[in-house]
Amino acid sequence: MTILQTSGLKKYYGTGDTRVKALDGVDLRIEQGEFVAIVGTSGSGKSTLLHMLGGLDRPTAGTVTVDGKDIFGLKDEALTIFRRRKIGFVFQAYNLVPVLSVWENIVLPIQLDGNKVDADFVGAVVSALGLEPKLRSLPNQLSGGQQQRVAIARALATKPAILLADEPTGNLDSKTSQDVLSLMKVTGQKFGQTMVMITHNEEIAQMADRIVRIEDGRIVER
């Protein structure tokens, strides 16, 4: 089943001679349960594409469909709610709340949405990512790799339709990057998650099920 699809997706900045085509007609389909890496050099459009897939920025033209919903057909407030419930994000910066414990950081998005925490499910995610001994710790008591695992657990805990990762290992050393990505892949498979990761790192990209390459705002390999 197709969980994520773009059609004719364009994002232009500026006008006339100064116009920049960050995305220039992207058509992409991602199936449920896939782990896809989007690879490109700096300025290729990969970050812009991820922001569009996650509804963080509106396109100049084209559509993005997530779990059967045309997300840019939604008004801003409805899009915010849909994004919070259906899309998980993992960024290069871990974005953890420093005064909250690991457990509190993981369940925060669920509580913000007014939902009851599924302790069994979250516990299974925590266990899969090896975070059980750290649940009472604060972020500043964790290593970089541990903080990124908390960020991944937080994204998975809401049971999103799709998980988007923006250079998730950019702040980690090579060994820790491999470890975190391996855990991310295994955890995604265990819980049936669809994952899309952007990276410039070819070695990291090889861990995905499929590699999509983007150059000058266009997909050149899928």
For the chain, the domain total comes to 1
The residue segments making up the domain with residue 49 are 2-221
Please give the full DSSP string across 74-138, using - where no structure is assigned: S-HHHHHHHHHHHEEEE-SS----TTS-HHHHHHHHHHHTTPPP-HHHHHHHHHHTT-GGGTT--
Cβ-contact 71, 54 below 8 angstroms: no
Strands of 218-221's sheet in order across: 87-90, 162-166, 194-199, 35-39, 210-215, 218-221
| pTM for this predicted structure | 0.88
Lookup: tokens for 194: 């669809």
Q: How confident is the model at residue 10, as a pLDDT?
A: 96
**10 closest CA partner among 66, 74, 62:** 62
Which residue type does 216 have?
D
CA distance 3 to 222: 16
**55 closest CA partner among 6, 14, 21:** 6
Residue 114 belongs to a domain with what CATH number?
3.40.50.300
Tens of pLDDT, residue by residue over 50-83, are: 999 999 999 999 999 999 999 999 999 999 989 9
Average pLDDT, the chain: 90
What residues pair up with 20 in beta bridges, in sequence order?
Answer: 13
Q: Is the pLDDT of residue 222 over 80?
A: no
Tens of pLDDT, residue by residue over 17-31, are: 888 999 999 999 999
Q: How confident is the model at residue 43, as a pLDDT?
A: 86
